[in-house]
Amino acid sequence: MKMRAVVFDAYGPPEVQRLEEVERPAPKEDEVLIKIHATTVTRTDTGLRSGKPFISRFFTGLFRPRQRILGTELAGEIESVGANVKEFTVGDHVFGSTSAFRFGTHAEFICLPESSPIAPKPSGMTFEEAAAVTDGVILALMCLEAAHIKKGLRVLVYGASGSIGTAGVQLARYFETDVTAVCNTKNVELVRSLGAGKVIDYTLEDFTKNGETYDVIFDAVGKHSFGRCRGSLNRGGAYVATDGFENLFLALWTSRIGNKKVLFPIPPRYTKKKVLFLKDLIEAGKYRAVIDRRYALEDVVEATRYVETQQKTGNVVLTISGGQAR
């Protein structure tokens, strides 16, 4: 049987992607076949597709991509199950993500092991909303946990209106920290509504020059640096990075020298436990999806171009079929 999928066979601009009919996968004994209703285009997708930075190709394929189908987040329903699957049954609505370094959700179907970071879709959430939450939360949670997040800390989230940033603000609020968020003018009210106690518009104010200091500075977009943020950290504070291989070396260096640390938690750890934690947060009204734009699967090139403007707010969703259903 065939299915539609977005494929690419060479690194390059968004136009290297194309919609194609490919073989539909069949579940192994411990796998489920998921009919995908919605997925997302993330910064990770664009980086893998472009093959930049070049060093990343040592993990994704030196001369051509090892995985032809991008996409990590999903929401959909169980189409069929393997003989040994116990947790899910046909017709169940699920959401979640592929595991680290595995892709394939820019397609109508995907097979995943039952143990993957997938769980029952939160009640009352559309497929589009459910597709747009796991990646940002898992990455933000990993970073905040590395900084030993706890009640009362002063936390600044830089890039607070992106996918990871909107997750970081909501999680920092959940952990009862004193949250300051940095974003552009158009997103100030949105970020405030997510739980930030103070919002700094970076077009009007440089947080590194206002005299305020923080226990944790979480750079959710990879556009700042430890050097620029160092003076805004309290003694024993941490700059938490989400991007930039130089931060790996800085993390090793500052772990031995100085009283201000760089944290660069890699590789990402996608687990079912974290998806279930997120499900509970959503159903308790303590977390919500932030969606900027929605595109049909066949408009993936346009969606990717928009993500690469680096101006998206929250998440960009690809709807495959039935994305609005609850």
The predicted pLDDT at position 254 comes to 92
How many C-beta atoms surround the C-beta of residue 123 within 10 A? 10
Residue 154, strand partner residues: 178
Question: How far is C-alpha 251 from the geometric centre of its chain's CA atoms?
Answer: 22
Q: What is the mean pLDDT of residues 57-79?
A: 93
Residue 126 pLDDT > 70 = yes
Residue 70 pLDDT > 80 = yes
Work out the pLDDT band at 99, boundaries 50, 70, 90: confident
3 state SS for the chain: CEEEEEECCCCCCHHHCEEEEEECCCCCCCEEEEEEEEEEECHHHHHHHHCCCHHHHHHHCCCCCCCCCCCCEEEEEEEEECCCCCCCCCCCEEEEECCCCCCCCCECEEEEECCCCEEECCCCCCHHHHHCCHHHHHHHHHHHHHCCCCCCCEEEEECCCEHHHHHHHHHHHHCCCEEEEEECHHHHHHHHHCCCCEEEECCCCCHHHCCCCEEEEEECCCCCCHHHHHHHEEEEEEEEECCCCHHHHHHHHHCCCCCCEEECCCCCCCCHHHHHHHHHHHHCCCCCCCEEEEEEHHHHHHHHHHHCCCCCCEEEEEECCCCCCC
Task: Give span(s): CATH 3.90.180.10, the chain.
Answer: 2-133+289-319
Residue type, 96: G
The predicted pLDDT at position 297 comes to 97
Q: How far apart are CA 290 and CA 181, in angstroms?
A: 16
**Residues 6+ positions from 13 with CB-CB distance below 8 Å:** 50
- Tell me the pairing of strands 31-41 and 233-241: unpaired
Q: For all residues of the chain together, what is the average pLDDT?
A: 95
The predicted pLDDT at position 323 comes to 47
8 Å CB contact between 131 and 107 = no
Range 2-133+289-319 has CATH code 3.90.180.10: yes
Task: Give span(s): CATH 3.40.50.720, the chain.
Answer: 135-263
- Tell me the pairing of strands 214-219 and 233-241: parallel
The CATH number assigned to the domain with range 135-263 reads 3.40.50.720
Q: How far apart are CA 90 and CA 53, in angstroms?
A: 41
Residue 87 pLDDT > 80 = yes
Tens digit of pLDDT for each residue in 191-249? Answer: 999 999 999 999 999 999 999 999 999 999 988 999 999 999 999 999 999 988 888 88
* Structure-token pair, residue 289: 């999806």
Q: How far apart are CA 194 and CA 93, in angstroms?
A: 27
Residue 326 pLDDT > 90 = no
Q: What is the mean pLDDT of residues 290-308?
A: 97
**Residues 6+ positions from 249 with CB-CB distance below 8 Å:** none
Work out the pLDDT band at 128, boundaries 50, 70, 90: very high
CA-based torsion, 214, 220, 226, 228: positive or negative: negative
